[in-house]
């Protein structure tokens, strides 16, 4: 059993421990959990290393859920889980979670049976989208909010009037596999020119292997006059703004949130995006009239968005 690192806020727990929710974010290397009060306040957190295999993942979910709730477990109403891979949110069944050696697993049913609680499972990007929407929009969840996850791949989570959208087959938001990039790099999905072959965290690392993390190093080198860095950065920012335009013109969201590992670059990522956006707006009154710059936000790096969003998603079911 993995060791736990748990943090509680005693004042919040004492103030109101009825109707608590647990949110769990499962990654390739760690599992993070939060205990959330009815008003959305995080009252406890926990983190353990992730282990591979079906039995280990279920065991760790049950363990961290009980640990983060502590003596208030009996007051918990539901558990939400965010995890990579294919997720059937209606049944809690997950598939093809490569980093955890999972082919298929009835995660929701198995964890729910052991915990004695309703367990709702979401794709990790969707969970993070819900978390980011609640953190940045607060109580005003009206309109559409799009979360762009610039991680190992590229995907979007869409929250409409507080409701997470899944689409007909669950493939909504798979914008990374829209094959429009002119560089026409091969994508593991079988296509060429997918957006994520240029503007995901993994692709930037491939295009600019001279720095780790690559995006801050790429931006710095470009600003210092490195011509190759400037060429690569122009390629990356072109794909980023293609992505922004697609979700903006498809969903007309009030907020477009940059998340994922690449978003940890911080404001410089927004700045280079705005520069490319301004170049396009200079020749397109229609695009300029959308005021996209006013809608861009960075996901708060210090918040456990995946776990928080998983808790909120479970609460809405």
- Mean pLDDT, the chain cut into blocks of 10 residues (317 residues total): 60 61 96 95 96 97 98 96 94 94 97 97 96 93 96 95 91 94 95 96 96 95 98 98 97 97 96 98 97 97 95 88
Q: Which pLDDT score, from 0 to 100, does residue 15 have?
A: 41
- Closest alpha carbon to 254 in 202, 301, 291: 291
Domain 5-123 sits in CATH at: 3.30.420.40
Q: Which pLDDT score, from 0 to 100, does residue 50 have?
A: 96
Q: Which pLDDT score, from 0 to 100, does residue 170 have?
A: 83
Long-range interactions of 229-237: CB distance < 8 A, separation 24+: 232/207, 232/208, 233/272, 234/276, 235/183, 235/198, 235/207, 236/198, 236/199, 236/203, 236/204, 236/207, 237/199, 237/272, 237/273, 237/275, 237/276
Domain residue spans in the chain? Answer: 5-123, 129-298
Using CA atoms in the order 119, 125, 130, 136, what is the torsion angle rounded to 10 degrees?
A: 150
CA distance 292 to 207: 27
Q: Which pLDDT score, from 0 to 100, does residue 14 have?
A: 47
Q: Work out the number of other CB atoms within 10 angstroms of the CB of residue 85.
A: 18
Partners of 147 in the β-ladder: 157, 257
Rounded to a whole number, what is the distance in angstroms from the first to the last CA of the chain? 31
Q: Work out the number of other CB atoms within 10 angstroms of the CB of residue 231.
A: 12
Does residue 128 contact residue 149 with C-beta atoms inside 8 Å?
Answer: yes
Do you know the residue count of the chain?
Answer: 317
| Identical fold between 5-123 and 129-298 | yes
Distances, alpha carbon 72 to alpha carbons 12, 14, 33, 81, 130, in Å:
12, 10, 15, 19, 24
Q: Which pLDDT score, from 0 to 100, does residue 17 have?
A: 59
CA distance 184 to 110: 43
Q: Which pLDDT score, from 0 to 100, does residue 12 have?
A: 52
The architecture CATH gives domain 129-298: 2-Layer Sandwich (3.30)
């Amino acid at each position: 059993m993995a060791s736990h690192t748990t943090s509680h806020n005693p004042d919040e727990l004492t103030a109101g421990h009825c109707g608590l929710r647990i949110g769990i974010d499962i990654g390739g290397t760690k599992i993070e959990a939060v205990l959330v009060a009815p008003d959305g306040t995080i009252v406890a957190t926990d983190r353990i290393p992730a282990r591979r295999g079906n039995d280990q993942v279920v065991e760790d979910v049950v363990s961290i859920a009980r640990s983060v709730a502590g003596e208030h477990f009996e007051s918990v109403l539901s558990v939400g889980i965010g995890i990579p891979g294919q997720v059937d949110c209606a049944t809690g069944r997950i598939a093809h979670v490569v980093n955890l050696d999972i082919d298929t697993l009835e995660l929701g049913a198995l964890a729910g049976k052991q915990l004695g609680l309703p367990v709702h499972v979401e794709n990790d990007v969707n969970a993070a989208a819900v978390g980011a929407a609640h953190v940045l929009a607060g109580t005003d969840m009206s309109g559409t909010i799009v979360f762009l996850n610039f991680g190992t791949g590229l995907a979007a989570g869409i929250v409409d009037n507080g409701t997470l959208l899944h689409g007909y087959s669950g493939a909504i938001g798979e914008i990374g596999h829209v094959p429009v990039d002119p560089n026409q790099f091969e994508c593991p999905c079988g296509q060429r020119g997918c957006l994520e072959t240029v503007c995901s965290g993994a692709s930037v690392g491939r295009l600019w292997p001279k720095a780790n993390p690559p995006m801050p190093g790429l931006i710095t080198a470009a600003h210092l006059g490195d011509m190759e860095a400037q060429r690569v950065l122009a390629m990356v920012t072109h794909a980023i703004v293609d992505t922004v335009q697609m979700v903006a013109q498809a969903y007309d969201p009030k907020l477009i949130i940059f998340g994922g590992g690449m978003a940890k670059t911080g404001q410089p990522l927004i700045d280079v995006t705005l520069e490319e956006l301004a170049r396009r707006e200079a020749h397109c009154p229609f695009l300029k009239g959308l005021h996209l710059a006013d809608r861009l936000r960075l996901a708060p790096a210090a918040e456990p968005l995946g776990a928080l969003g998983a808790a909120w998603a479970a609460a809405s079911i």
